[in-house]
Structure 1
Amino acid sequence: MSESVKEKTVPTRTRAVAEICQSSIQSGRGRGFVRWRLLLIVVLPVVTLIVGLSSTSSTRLALAIATVYAIAVLSNGVVLGGLNEINLGAGGWMAVGAYAMAIFLEHSIPLLVSVVLAVATTTLIGFVVAIPTVRLRGIFTALSTFVLAYSVPQCIVFLESITGGSHGKSVPFGLTLFGAEIGGSSPGTLVLVTVSFVVVGLATFALLESRWGKTVIWVAEAEPAAAVFGVRTTAVKVAVWTWSAALCGLAGALFALTVGFLSPDQFQAALGINLFVGAVIGGSRSIWAALVGGLLIGFLPTQLQDYMPSSATGILFGGILLVAILAGAGGLARPIEKLLANLQTSLRRTPR
């Protein structure tokens, strides 16, 4: 091949790769940006873990709670990015997982088994609730999930004999896992929640990038066409909502371990709204961006209290949300991914 042909071929290939990356970033799916996304899913939590382990106990606790919130934000992203539906009930599902975790630990069930049982309990209830929920669309879905978020704290108070009601419920302390102390601001807690985020993040990424994930997008964007081709659209949507509930159940179980005390006030409807805002700010179709959303709603406010009045944090959140909206439907993740894609293109080797 002559030098002139090589000079034309390589730039053409570079442009083709760049176009594939940009298309993948725009849709949030596809093979064009897989390596970067997998890298970010692992690297960002590791950076958070390193910062937390080298910081004070209060900072470590705030990062642990923010990472727990990130798992719940991810559950919102699954529904919003997959089905284009609004879920305001993530806080309610977190409450189910948290109280289930506390109850199982109270009966001296081992920690890991309690986590599994808490997630299974939330998943089962989420599956039952998902069956009527998927029959709704748009604002009606948002309203139904908001009702769920609003009613869960009332149910906690009503079931006082089980949950402790308005008096709250303590989570057993002195828990260990593989010899590490779990609970509160201990390093083991931060390691546990960080590893959990990476595991469920990679699992969610694999699901959404699989054939099933492509079917989910098809159902969301062209449900009648998908039904014509034999896709069981209702089953697909129930599966998405159930997976979302499972993630919230895990977040709730980890939240119980982290804070050590549960009360209805921790799971008010505002929590579900904040978790949804976290998904919008980060970017609903980027798994790694869930950690960004979790940090913004769970870590940033606690760190700003030393520098500004609590009332001013609302203004700051409004500004961040405005920036995310201006960034487009992809949230803050999209411009960051575009920057990385441009960097990748510029670093590609050119022929000599």
Structure 2
Amino acid sequence: MRHEEIKAGENISTVMQFVLLGFSDLPNLQGFLFGMFSVMYLSILIGNSFIIMITRLDPALQKPMYFFLSNFSFLEICYVSVTLPRILFNLWTQDRRISFLACATQMCFFLMLAATESILLSVMSYDRYVAICNPLHYPLSMNPTKCTQLAVGSWLGGVPFELGQTCQIFSLHFCNSNKIDNFFCDIPPVLKLACGNTSVNELYVYAMAILLAAIPFMLILASYSKIIATVLRLPTAEGRAKAFSTCSSHLVVVVLFFGSASVTYLMPKSTHSSITDKLLSLFYTIVTPMLNPMIYSLRNKDVIVALRRLLVKAQCHPLTYE
């Protein structure tokens, strides 16, 4: 396929489309990659849908912790659907073109959902903090109204900031090339195409990273420092083990998400390599959402017990057809 180039000096108004290079440097693996990403997408959809279903149906899981987990699973489905269908389309058709508007839209939704994930993870850590450190106040502090407000705040909190960041980036001039050396419209590879001084844009990226990633991450660390101190004071080993098992899955997800994303967005643009960008992007856009259902279900005894109850109920009441 012939990739279209943008001549140096052209105005951004003439840029009608970009080209997502993605995995075009692996021509012999296109079929394999399509199959692999299809399986990953299906596993993400099925795994997270399963968590949503089981937290809605099982009466024992009608708690704030699982209300937020259900929100988180739905978020992961939305988050991965911003990028993976486009990857599959590009691999299947070998048409890697994406319009200027579609690229901006993809980046905007990706950034907004990433901000939602960051805030929601901090809300989930706050829920665990109240449950373990202030159990007597938990029913009042995390009542249904408060939980709904926290969930809505998580979904909407990053929208104005990321909408502004997307508008700022796509108001730049792109004069050297229109080839995005990644599989979706992410900030680092798009900024690489901009001509002129992009230091203001990079500062804005750092500011958003501090506001929507670093601050939530610090709140999570503060919550878990209090949680660990409280757990270590519990009188029984069984109580400590139960508290740690409840929190460990959340901590693993936090480390996976914030670790890979922070390297991508906090490194200076000049130090980015396309291979590093692609690997890190794959990790926090696809691999982490795929692992989350397994992490939460395998590390959470309540979810395992609820699964057993659901399976027993299905065996006792099989579907009958006339």
Structure 2 length-normalised TM: 0.26
Which of 1 and 2 has higher RCO (CA within 8 Å, sep 6+)? 1
Structure 1 length-normalised TM: 0.24
